[in-house]
Amino acid sequence: MSILVLTLGFAAMLALMFLSLPVAFAIIFVGTFGGYLAFGMPLVEMMGGVVWGTLNNSVMTAIPLFMLLGEILLRSGIADKMFDVLAVWLGRLPGGLLHTNIGTCALFSATSGSSVATAATVATVALPALGQRGYPLQATLGSLAAGGTLGILIPPSVNLLVYGSLANVSVGQLFIAGVIPGLLLTALFSLYILVAHRDAGAADSAPDLPLADKLRLLRHLLPPAAVFLVVMGSIYGGLATPTESAALGVMMALFFVWRQGRLSLALMEHCFRQSARTTGMVVLVIVCALLLNVTLSMLGTAQAVTQWVGSLGLSAYTLLALLTAFYVVLGMFMDAMSMLVLTVPIAVPMVVAVGVDPVWFGIFIVVMCEIALITPPVGMNLFVVQGLRRDGGSFGDVVRGSLPYVFIMIGFVGLLIAWPQIVLWLPESMTGG
């Protein structure tokens, strides 16, 4: 019965989304209306307390702080200098500045917890530069949309924060578990560019700088490197919680902006406003999903699904393969954060029952969220990159340019399933076990 209710509720949400209703409204409608039908007003009246109890914790406070950190680095011009430095070092590789797109996205991801912010930041800088130098349009757009997805895998990551809160898993463990997969996926993206677009930028006549000048330019990478080391080092040094480390990162970013002479009230007002908007969107989706999860919990859906999966006798590999296919399809119709908060309460007990490590599963589900960001028709990074174009070209250019990266990430998921130590080795080494 519970599984039938879950299926009907999921179908109802998709139907409401196809009617162009906001995702948050579709979730809250199914959650509250379903709860009312099942248990009446008492359940609806208790939802407020449940939501407050869940959101009233320090981990959730880190979300606006990491959003603010990314905004400060974007608006202060630090991100522009990151691109310029990496263009000098990577621009001579086969594929040219396409590698710079990926490298800048990876570096910016280490200071910002948002994929959309990463894609928007790097695309704002890169699109004019690559357009002027004659790089193929689809390859450029695809590398920016796919590179932006690294923002939620390479720590710090808002999606890993939310997963840790919902699944009751250490955020510090999740952050450190994302380092090696994030770097490996970055390398795979660059390897694809090296093979498929090796002639891109061949007509680029930008002069090569002497080694001494290249080394001097590396000083512009000190701010993002320092922010990353402060955030991650304070967590694993036992000096700060994830929320406190986010606050330390913001203070470090403000210090570097002040040193550059760019700190102003106008800059701060813009950063606070934009981070508040983004945080409001994220928290609204989380709250609405929590209301739905209250109904599902009272109906015993998670337990019923876990028992049902157990009765099928599926191995961990078979279950993960089915979940991979499920998330790829779901990501075509739902944004990454909604997909995460809706499925975690159901999926985590299910995979833990077959012996899957919840820290590993956190990285798995975030990679699936990355795929959702570049799969049409609801891939957020596709819309972000398309919106920053000035040539009025077709949306299909972004889709076709991003499609190879979708297959790379699906193959990467298979790699994680086959060798879970890619995710687990570093956190186990750092915690002694």
Q: Tell me which residue range forms the domain holding 260.
A: 61-279+311-431
Across the chain, mean pLDDT equals 84
| Structure confidence at residue 127 as a pLDDT band (50, 70, 90) | confident
Provide the percentage of residues in the chain whose pLDDT is more than 90: 27
| Structure confidence at residue 2 as a pLDDT band (50, 70, 90) | low
Taking only the tens place, the pLDDT of each residue in 299-317 is 777 677 777 777 777 889 9
pLDDT at 433 > cutoff 60: no
Average confidence (pLDDT) over 272-277: 87
Q: Are 100 and 86 in contact (CB under 8 A)?
A: yes
| Structure confidence at residue 418 as a pLDDT band (50, 70, 90) | very high
Q: Are 217 and 85 in contact (CB under 8 A)?
A: yes
Q: What is the 3-state secondary structure (H, E, C) of 204-268?
A: CCCCCCCHHHHHHHHHHHHHHHHHHHHHHHHHHCCCCCHHHHHHHHHHHHHHHHHHCCCCCHHHH
In a domain, 35, yes or no: no
In a domain, 23, yes or no: no
Query: Which of residues 267 and 209 earns the better pLDDT score?
Result: 267
Query: Which of residues 413 and 350 earns the better pLDDT score?
Result: 413
Q: Which residues, other chains included, contact 364 with Cβ-Cβ below 8 Å and sequence gap of 6+?
A: 320, 323, 413, 416, 417, 423
pLDDT at 135 > cutoff 70: yes
Q: Report the length, in residues, of the chain.
A: 433
Query: Which of residues 173 and 34 earns the better pLDDT score?
Result: 173
Identify the sign of the CA torsion 313, 316, 322, 326.
positive
Q: Residue 128: its pLDDT value, please?
A: 84
Q: Residue 206: its pLDDT value, please?
A: 59
Taking only the tens place, the pLDDT of each residue in 178-192 is 999 999 999 999 999
First to last CA, the chain: 41
| Structure confidence at residue 407 as a pLDDT band (50, 70, 90) | very high
Provide the 10 A C-beta neighbour count for residue 40: 10
Instruction: Report the SS3 class of residue 433.
Output: coil
| Structure confidence at residue 6 as a pLDDT band (50, 70, 90) | low
> Which spans in 76-114 are helix H?
78-90, 97-109
CA-wise closest residue to 235 among 156, 310, 288: 156
In a domain, 180, yes or no: yes
Please tell me the distance from the alpha carbon of residue 107 to that of residue 130, in angstroms, as a whole number. 19
Q: Which of 46-60, 117-131, 154-168, 392-406 has the lowest mean pLDDT?
A: 46-60
Mean pLDDT: which of 24-33, 155-164, 416-425 is highest?
416-425
CA-wise closest residue to 87 among 112, 117, 122: 122
In a domain, 43, yes or no: no
Q: Residue 202: its pLDDT value, please?
A: 65
Q: Residue 52: its pLDDT value, please?
A: 79
CA-wise closest residue to 176 among 372, 404, 360, 418: 360
| Structure confidence at residue 345 as a pLDDT band (50, 70, 90) | confident
Average confidence (pLDDT) over 264-274: 89
Provide the 10 A C-beta neighbour count for residue 368: 23
Provide the percentage of residues in the chain whose pLDDT is more than 70: 94
DSSP summary character for residue 126? H
Please tell me the distance from the alpha carbon of residue 397 to that of residue 399, in angstroms, as a whole number. 5
| Structure confidence at residue 146 as a pLDDT band (50, 70, 90) | very high
Taking only the tens place, the pLDDT of each residue in 30-79 is 778 777 777 788 877 777 777 777 677 777 788 888 888 888 887 777 77
Q: Are 103 and 193 in contact (CB under 8 A)?
A: no
Q: Are 14 and 312 in contact (CB under 8 A)?
A: no
Please tell me the distance from the alpha carbon of residue 376 to that of residue 395, in angstroms, as a whole number. 10
Burial class (CB in 10 A: 0-12, 13-18, 19+), 151: buried
Q: Cα angle at 26 between 23 and 28, to 5 degrees? A: 105
Q: Are 316 and 358 in contact (CB under 8 A)?
A: no
Taking only the tens place, the pLDDT of each residue in 189-215 is 999 999 998 887 666 655 677 878 888
Q: Are 368 and 347 in contact (CB under 8 A)?
A: no
Q: Are 253 and 76 in contact (CB under 8 A)?
A: yes
- Type of residue at 295: T
Q: Residue 3: its pLDDT value, please?
A: 63
Average confidence (pLDDT) over 289-296: 76
- The pTM of the full predicted model, rounded to 2 decimals, is 0.87
In a domain, 190, yes or no: yes
- Type of residue at 248: L
In a domain, 210, yes or no: yes
| Structure confidence at residue 5 as a pLDDT band (50, 70, 90) | low
Q: Are 188 and 408 in contact (CB under 8 A)?
A: yes
pLDDT at 1 > cutoff 60: no
Q: Residue 204: its pLDDT value, please?
A: 62
In a domain, 302, yes or no: no
Q: Which residues, other chains included, contact 200 with Cβ-Cβ below 8 Å and sequence gap of 6+?
A: 95, 96, 98, 135, 136, 139, 193
Identify the sign of the CA torsion 161, 164, 167, 168.
negative
Q: Are 164 and 401 in contact (CB under 8 A)?
A: no
Structural domains of the chain, count = 1
In a domain, 7, yes or no: no
Which tokens sit at 343? 């499925």
